[in-house]
Structure 1
Amino acid sequence: MIKIRVLNPEDKKSFIKRIKFPGEEGNPFDRILRLLENINQIPTFLFFTLIILTAGVFSLFNIENWLLLVLFSLTDSLLVGLLPKLKISFGSYKSQVFLLFILRALFVWFSFPINLIFQIIGSLFVFYGFIKEPSDIKISTIYHNFPNVSSTLNFLHISDIHLEQPGIREIKLIQIVESRKPDFILYTGDFLNLSNIRNQASIENIIGFFNQIHSISPVYYVSGSPAVDVEDTIKIIEKNLNPIRLNNSNILLNLEGNLINIIGITCTHHPHLDMKHLPPLLQEGLLNILLYHSPDLIYELSVEERVDLILSGHTHGGQVRLPIIGAIFTGSLYGRKLQKGLYQIHNTLLYISRGIGLEGLGAPRVRFLCSPEIIEWKNNS
């Protein structure tokens, strides 16, 4: 059974004076990703020369520690270099190896054989976090008593595919949709990888991918972060997609005589401004399901605004989670308060998906204790 975290409405923050918002170009996280992307542009020979020299500096040119750090950095290069061949991710390995190098350097001065043990454990983590877990899509099934629905109801929530090229996750996702055959599918944004937001092949692939899913079950979607689903690209996608975009609009679905109101609000990452689109779209006496890419809108709801369920993504669950602590970082305005899973405020449920894909640019192409997921919702009746 999935735990529901109850949110306190008094935790709502004001963002009127805030200048930079998550999900926009130029925010601090975005600048870091673009800085790391510069590492990927370094010529290969120069990159490894710098790794070798920097390893010498970190180890104070102690031969044993120096060789240890270089050897395991080369191991990381081989493991991360396998990702395109395994169709897990397709970006450059250099920024990833650099980040792993920094982590490995922290342990190089432990005495032997402790330093060797830490480095071997590090390689096991690299295999698990870069290869095993990003390939393994989990299905989270939630049974819920939906109000104003008397019949069976079965739908899927998918988010944050971040497609580069068709890969192992996309293949598995189609297989899952075919096996489940839901009444409909709701997608909460971020179509492309940040490295591919204007790549013509990626755009064509994501269009073909969603049209294939739509041929199995109807798909309704909202766009994601403005920095990912950039306006010119999302217009091309919308024009060629059979699935229906909800752009500050709603659609009524009739399932066995039960009307369901699906609402989609386009996310600008300014929830206090985006909220104005919601009230006219609500339908009293019907099941109201709201799609909004970021979970941050949840705190803008008043008790009078009767949204039964909000579906969102954006945070990827943090991608890297630690036992007990949870996510190290999320892209939410509320920090680690909104990470993943099921939340409640007033009478509204919020589900934050861990998403499917990986961010792109210089972001870590890793998942740890945070597998990709599809959420299957079923009416308890």
Structure 2
Amino acid sequence: MYILYGILILCVLCLFYMLVIEPRRLKKKHYFIRKNKLHVLDISNAYDLYRNKTDVTIAHISDTHFSRSYHPRRMNAIIRSILQQSPDMIVFTGDLVDNYKNWPHRYTKSLIEKLTKLSAPMGKFAILGNHDYKENGEYFIAEVFKESDFILLKNQQFFGANENISIAISGTDDALHGKPNYKFARTAADWHLLLIHEPDSVKNIELPEAYDLILAGHSHGGQVRLPFVHFKHPGAIHYTRGLYLLTEKTLLSVNQGLGTTVLPIRFGAPPEIIYYHLAQDEPE
């Protein structure tokens, strides 16, 4: 009987952790990346030491899946982190809301206010994800991004620069429900970035070496990762989380996202925001 009680208590605690604790356990990752990609450093515990070596800092968020169970106030932790880090650029790689059909429109004003508080001198950029297309929600999402000063890249390219570096940032339409175009003009920018939602769509890129950094979301890192069992989303079967060196020049980064879908739980895949500290190669 005591064993049964123990198992029951353990199950309740596990469920509480998956429902309440891990979905709010925001991880902040910092990567220092040079142009040659030979040495990508995880500087999450020492990013201050690299501030003087960094030409530009990019904040990457993804997959908020705003819904009745994920209120816009959950953005407060992200806003605080970005205000503290003061990135030069912010990118969002899709799935702003979970399902437009079930969206509580009374949250819209608050959502726009929260997104507007995110600021970056080189701009804020976003792409659409597969959930943004549900029930024709892409029109609503586009308007929200417009009202909150995000530039929505739908098979479009944008050029930006500061005193240290120039960046060409391209964004594709969603691979599952949109009409993505993976061909963008090569520019004279120092860095070329590509935003995609589903990470496996890199297989559709004819010349991945044309990009220095490809940023994706969609996978949620599996959302629930049990020992020896990792759930995978269609579109994120081969690339699920973390960094992948696709070519000698091209790095793919898959963000685990912030929200949840299907069930409001996470286990072994906490929400995350990623900061990329980019720098040109040191002279030999």
How far apart are residue 241 of structure 1 and its match? 2.8
Q: Flag the 1:140–1:304 CA change in 2: closer, same or farther, 3 A.
A: closer
2:64 pairs with 1:161: yes
Q: Deviations over 1:246-289 (max 9, x none)?
A: 11111111121521001011113279x62xx2323332563110
Q: Flag the 1:189–1:146 CA change in 2: closer, same or farther, 3 A.
A: same
CA contact (8 A) 2:214 2:253 kept: yes
- Taking only the aligned residue pairs, the percentage that are identical comes to 27
2:89 is aligned to 184
In structure 2, what residue type is equivalent to 1:292? I
The gaps in structure 1 that reach 5 residues or longer are 1-111
Q: Flag the 1:334–1:375 CA change in 2: closer, same or farther, 3 A.
A: closer
Q: Flag the 1:122–1:151 CA change in 2: closer, same or farther, 3 A.
A: closer
Aligned pair partner of 1:341 in 234, 242, 263: 242
Aligned pair partner of 2:162 in 255, 259, 262: 255
Q: Flag the 1:115–1:121 CA change in 2: closer, same or farther, 3 A.
A: same
2:141 is aligned to 234
Question: Where in structure 1 do 4 or more consecutive aligned residues deviate above 6 Å?
Answer: none
| SS state at 2:184 partner | helix
Normalized per residue, which structure has more helix? Answer: 1
TM-score normalised over the length of structure 2? 0.81
2:25 pairs with 1:136: yes
Separation in structure 2 between the aligned mates of residue 214 and residue 192 of structure 1, nearest angstrom: 20
CA contact (8 A) 1:192 1:229 kept: no
Q: Deviations over 1:129-182 (max 9, x none)?
A: 11111111110111110359x962211100011223223x31111110110000
| SS state at 1:279 partner | coil
2:216 pairs with 1:312: yes
Q: Flag the 1:134–1:204 CA change in 2: closer, same or farther, 3 A.
A: same
1:357 is aligned to 259
Aligned pair partner of 2:76 in 168, 171, 175: 171
Q: Flag the 1:232–1:301 CA change in 2: closer, same or farther, 3 A.
A: closer
How far apart are residue 207 of structure 1 and its match? 1.8
Aligned pair partner of 1:220 in 94, 116, 125: 125
CA contact (8 A) 1:290 1:310 kept: yes
Q: Deviations over 1:277-325 (max 9, x none)?
A: 23233325631100111112111234465111111111111111124x3
1:330 is aligned to 232
Q: Flag the 1:130–1:151 CA change in 2: closer, same or farther, 3 A.
A: closer
Q: Flag the 1:280–1:215 CA change in 2: closer, same or farther, 3 A.
A: closer
Q: Flag the 1:143–1:228 CA change in 2: closer, same or farther, 3 A.
A: farther
2:277 pairs with 1:378: yes
Separation in structure 2 between the aligned mates of residue 260 and residue 341 of structure 1, nearest angstrom: 22
| SS state at 1:266 partner | coil
Q: Flag the 1:244–1:304 CA change in 2: closer, same or farther, 3 A.
A: closer
Separation in structure 2 between the aligned mates of residue 253 and residue 260 of structure 1, nearest angstrom: 5
How far apart are residue 203 of structure 1 and its match? 2.8
How far apart are residue 356 of structure 1 and its match? 0.6
Q: Flag the 1:196–1:126 CA change in 2: closer, same or farther, 3 A.
A: farther
2:190 pairs with 1:286: yes
CA contact (8 A) 1:340 1:354 kept: yes
CA contact (8 A) 1:220 1:243 kept: yes
Separation in structure 2 between the aligned mates of residue 144 and residue 291 of structure 1, nearest angstrom: 17
Normalized per residue, which structure has more strand? Answer: 2
CA contact (8 A) 1:223 1:229 kept: no
Q: Flag the 1:246–1:376 CA change in 2: closer, same or farther, 3 A.
A: same
| SS state at 1:330 partner | coil
2:266 is aligned to 367
- Computing the radius of gyration from Cα coordinates, the structure with the larger value is 1
Separation in structure 2 between the aligned mates of residue 231 and residue 195 of structure 1, nearest angstrom: 9
Separation in structure 2 between the aligned mates of residue 202 and residue 253 of structure 1, nearest angstrom: 32
2:111 pairs with 1:206: yes
In structure 1, what residue type is equivalent to 2:72? P
CA contact (8 A) 1:163 1:202 kept: no
TM-score normalised over the length of structure 1? 0.62
Separation in structure 2 between the aligned mates of residue 334 and residue 145 of structure 1, nearest angstrom: 26
| SS state at 2:118 partner | helix
| SS state at 1:253 partner | strand
RMSD: 2.6
2:174 is aligned to 267
Aligned length, in residue pairs: 259
How far apart are residue 240 of structure 1 and its match? 1.9
